[in-house]
Amino acid sequence: MAKLILSMDGLVLKEITLTKERTTIGRKPHNDIQIDNLAVSGEHAVIVTILNDSFLEDLGSTNGTLVNGQPIKKHFLQNADVIELGKYRLKYVSDGPAAAKGPQDFEKTMVIRPGSMPKPGPAPDASPSPSPSTSQPANTMGTSQGMPSMGTSQGMTTPGTSQGMATPGTPNSGNSQGMPTLGTSQGMPAVGTSQPQPAMSTSQPVAGGRVAAIQILTGANAGKEMELTKALTTLGKPGVQVAVITKRPQGYFITHVEGTNFPIVNGKAVDAQAHPLNDHDVLELAGVKMEFFFKT
Amino acid sequence: MNLSQALEIASSTDPGMVRSHNEDSIAVDAAKGLVVLADGMGGYNAGEVASGMATTVITTELQDLLETNPPFEPDPANGRPNAERLLRDQIVKANTSIFQAAQSQPQYAGMGTTLVAAVFYDNKAMIAHIGDSRVYRMREETFEQITKDHSLLQEQIDSGMITPEQARFSQNKNLVTRALGIDPTVEPELREYDTRPGDVWLLCSDGLNDMVSDEDIGLTLQTLSANLKLAAQQLVQMANDNGGRDNVSVILVRVLRDFAVSRGWVTRLFGWLK
């Protein structure tokens, strides 16, 4: 469960756990977190917590609310954010069950019942209408959100996985082998590495931290250089011969995309599989030679 | 009508880098213009049972029904294309099957699945979805999300609580508000879209869009559209390279040419008289 650490001039005053859906902050005594200081407004700010997410909102305070030094009106709190009200600091620490249980559980898709959680703020008009669900308590998945404020989203009660039952006559439980005409392809041969990242990156992780480039050696564009910064870079002439260079955590790879001829690396044609590229490899595509190299 | 000349379909499904088994299920029939993708959930191996049931129940009967009930013809009951009713009926049937299996077999209690399904006919696509599996479309240079998730996060975005940018960092990514097989009734969202030659339609489970940004998915479809199979494999590989924390499934459908239904002069006259 997330908490706030209240401090002033580096001195920790107290710790507040965000158990309520709305936690109010202000000078007046009725606030959940009362800060008796004239720089703090009577009703200064509120933190709305939904499951593992907390949102800070300034309630039109006189002196404003800062998060990490920036004035905010509304802010989606991230772990280690520092909220400032006058001389007081509130550090937001989220060590929710999701973080504790690791990314595996966190990725598990679960069903949440419409209406099992209070809707804070204005009613969303665009949200899907609560389907006429005749809720069957025996059959709920992940409905540990019964209580008003945030339940733990990870409280999925996996129903008794009692084994030893005869498999029912369900048609085919296999993955994707449903029909005769089915075109499934198995994915890549699994490749090692790759740390779980907290959030996806906008582009592929840089190959070993090194950026590579291609320099064209022959033809009209001889001498031109192209940095391979994107996840995918295509080379060649569309309709004639095209290959793609992919940037992956384990390095750069060249793969044939279209055309009857396959790309040539160091004098040898590659096959349909992705081919790893090494420093100073010479590539040949649609009659043009080019060199692949790492930039320092 | 055989659509295999008009549609090119490639697909790929993978358990990812973390999970031991694949709870996603996909089914593809290019000739009928039918694609189905389901992302199962539930303890033990119930998730893959639910998703497997969904794809099987929906495709097996629909294959025959599409033959006898032309999907483009209006349903006398409401004037909507037959495809809508056919797809909805099969989804309801799949829902009942999964729900009953979950009720009667203790080891399947509480299982469910998300679903995206599309039927292509007459230069159109009828798309049904439940939960957070998605459909995207690449048309010309524009890559956009077509379906809107039935998820808590989407509701938060709709109500203005968080921005789509912030949503990427939310911890509530994985809570869906609708799923197949968890209630006796189900409400799929069904919409009809126009298709154009050159369009690439992408159906995917959240294992893709949680791990790979829309920008990179779009870039992949743009650069590798000449080789659809490679594009499908590349998408799965990118999800795995970024951590692959969930099962990843993708189905790509490229519209090769116009596939409008050729209507005889009688039908045309009828249409003109109406």
Q: Nearest residue on chain B to A78, judged by CA atoms?
A: B169
Say yes or no for a CB contact (<8 Å) between B186 and A107: no
Q: Write out the two tokens for B218.
A: 């779009």
Give the pLDDT confidence score for residue B264 in this predicted structure: 64
Task: Return the residue matching tokens 């004035």.
Answer: A71
DSSP secondary structure, A182-248, as one string: ----B-PPP----PPPSS--SSPPPGGG--EEEEE-SSTTTT-EEEE-SSEEEEEETTTEEEEEEEE
Q: Is the pLDDT of residue A68 over 60?
A: yes
Mean pLDDT across chain A: 71
Mean pLDDT of A41-64: 89
Cα separation values, B21 from A157, B38, B43, B50, Å = 20, 15, 12, 14
Is pTM beyond 0.95 here?
A: no
Rounded to an integer, what distance in angstroms lies between the CA atom of residue B230 and that of residue B220? Answer: 10
Bridge-partner residues for B72, per DSSP?
none
Mean pLDDT of A182-205: 38
Q: Write out the two tokens for A38.
A: 């004239």
3-state secondary structure chain B: CCCCCCEEEEEEEECCCCCCCCCEEEEEECCCCEEEEEEEECCCCHHHHHHHHHHHHHHHHHHHHHHHCCCCCECCCCCCEHHHHHHHHHHHHHHHHHHHHHHHCHHHCCCEEEEEEEEEECCEEEEEEECCCEEEEEECCEEEECCCCCEHHHHHHHCCCCCHHHHCCCCCCCEECCCECCCCCCCCEEEEEECCCCCEEEEECHHHHCCCCHHHHHHHHHHHCCCHHHHHHHHHHHHHHCCCCCCEEEEEEEECCCCCCCCCHHHHHHHHHC
Q: Write out the two tokens for B205.
A: 């489970």
Say yes or no for a CB contact (<8 Å) between B241 and A194: yes
Identity of the residue in A114, A187, A200 whose CB atom sits nearest the CB atom of B242: A200
A–B interface: beta-carbon pairs under 8 A: 321
Q: Nearest residue on chain A to B108, judged by CA atoms?
A: A161
Mean pLDDT of B190-219: 95
Say yes or no for a CB contact (<8 Å) between A170 and B97: yes
Give the sign of the dihedral formed by CA B51, CA B233, CA B250, CA A227.
positive
Give the pLDDT confidence score for residue A191 in this predicted structure: 33
Q: Is the pLDDT of residue A46 over 90?
A: yes
Rounded to an integer, what distance in angstroms lies between the CA atom of residue B72 and that of residue B91? Answer: 19
- The region, left, alpha or beta by phi > 0 then psi within -120 to 50, assigned to residue B69 is beta
Report the gap between the CA of A254 and the closest CA in chain B (Å).
12
Q: Nearest residue on chain A to B163, judged by CA atoms?
A: A76
Say yes or no for a CB contact (<8 Å) between A160 and B224: no
Asked whether the beta carbons of B41 and A108 are under 8 A apart, the reply is yes
Rounded to an integer, what distance in angstroms lies between the CA atom of residue B65 and that of residue B40? Answer: 25
Within 8 A by CB and 6+ apart from B63, the residues are: A179, B29, B32, B34
Q: Are strands A110-111 and B175-176 parallel, antiparallel or unpaired?
A: parallel
Say yes or no for a CB contact (<8 Å) between A175 and B48: yes
Local confidence band at A296 (pLDDT 50, 70, 90 cut-offs): confident
Domains of chain B: 7-273 (3.60.40.10)
Closest CA to A36 of A20, A46, A25: A25
Q: Is the pLDDT of residue A86 over 70?
A: yes
Give the sign of the dihedral formed by CA A133, CA A136, CA A139, CA A142.
positive
Q: Nearest residue on chain A to B230, judged by CA atoms?
A: A257
Question: Angle B82-104/B46-68 helices, nearest 10 degrees?
Answer: 150
Give the pLDDT confidence score for residue B12 in this predicted structure: 96
pLDDT digits (tens, 9 = 90+) for B253-263: 999 999 888 76
Q: Is the pLDDT of residue A187 over 80?
A: no
Give the pLDDT confidence score for residue A126 in this predicted structure: 41
Rounded to an integer, what distance in angstroms lies between the CA atom of residue B188 and that of residue B171? Answer: 26
Torsion of CA B168, B172, B178, B182, to 10 degrees: 140
* CA A238 remoteness from chain centre: 34
Give the pLDDT confidence score for residue B236 in this predicted structure: 96
Rounded to an integer, what distance in angstroms lies between the CA atom of residue A93 and that of residue A16? Answer: 10
Rounded to an integer, what distance in angstroms lies between the CA atom of residue B113 and that of residue B179? Answer: 6
Return the percentage of chain B with pLDDT > 70, whole number.
95
Question: Angle B214-224/B228-241 helices, nearest 10 degrees?
Answer: 150
Q: Is the pLDDT of residue A205 over 60?
A: no
Report the gap between the CA of A77 and the closest CA in chain B (Å).
10
Say yes or no for a CB contact (<8 Å) between B159 and A176: no
Report the gap between the CA of A3 and the closest CA in chain B (Å).
16
Which phi and psi angles does B62 have, rounded to 5°? -65, -35
Give the pLDDT confidence score for residue B20 in this predicted structure: 86
Best of B2, B21, B22, B26 to disrupt the A interface by mutation (most A CBs within 10 Å)? Answer: B26
Read off the amino acid at residue A27.
R
Local confidence band at A173 (pLDDT 50, 70, 90 cut-offs): very low
Q: What b/e sequence results for A238-254 when a residue is b if at least 16 CB atoms lie within 10 Å of its CB, and e otherwise?
A: eeebbbbbbbbbeebbb
Give the pLDDT confidence score for residue A214 in this predicted structure: 93
Say yes or no for a CB contact (<8 Å) between B18 and A104: yes
Say yes or no for a CB contact (<8 Å) between B242 and A234: no
Contacts of A185 in chain B (CB under 8 A): 10-13, 229, 232-233
Contacts of A134 in chain B (CB under 8 A): 183-185
Mean pLDDT of A113-127: 48
Identity of the residue in B211, B230, B243 whose CB atom sits nearest the CB atom of A257: B230
Rounded to an integer, what distance in angstroms lies between the CA atom of residue A103 and that of residue A99? Answer: 7
Mean pLDDT of B21-48: 91
Asked whether the beta carbons of A48 and A59 are under 8 A apart, the reply is no
Say yes or no for a CB contact (<8 Å) between B162 and A139: no
Say yes or no for a CB contact (<8 Å) between A159 and B242: no
pLDDT digits (tens, 9 = 90+) for A142-152: 333 333 333 33
Higher pLDDT, B253 or A184: B253
pLDDT digits (tens, 9 = 90+) for B107-161: 898 899 999 999 999 999 999 999 999 999 999 989 999 999 999 888 888 888 8
pLDDT digits (tens, 9 = 90+) for A91-115: 998 864 444 444 444 556 677 765 5
pLDDT digits (tens, 9 = 90+) for A11-23: 888 888 888 889 9
Task: Return the residue matching tokens 């006259």.
Answer: B269
Q: Is the pLDDT of residue B26 over 70?
A: yes
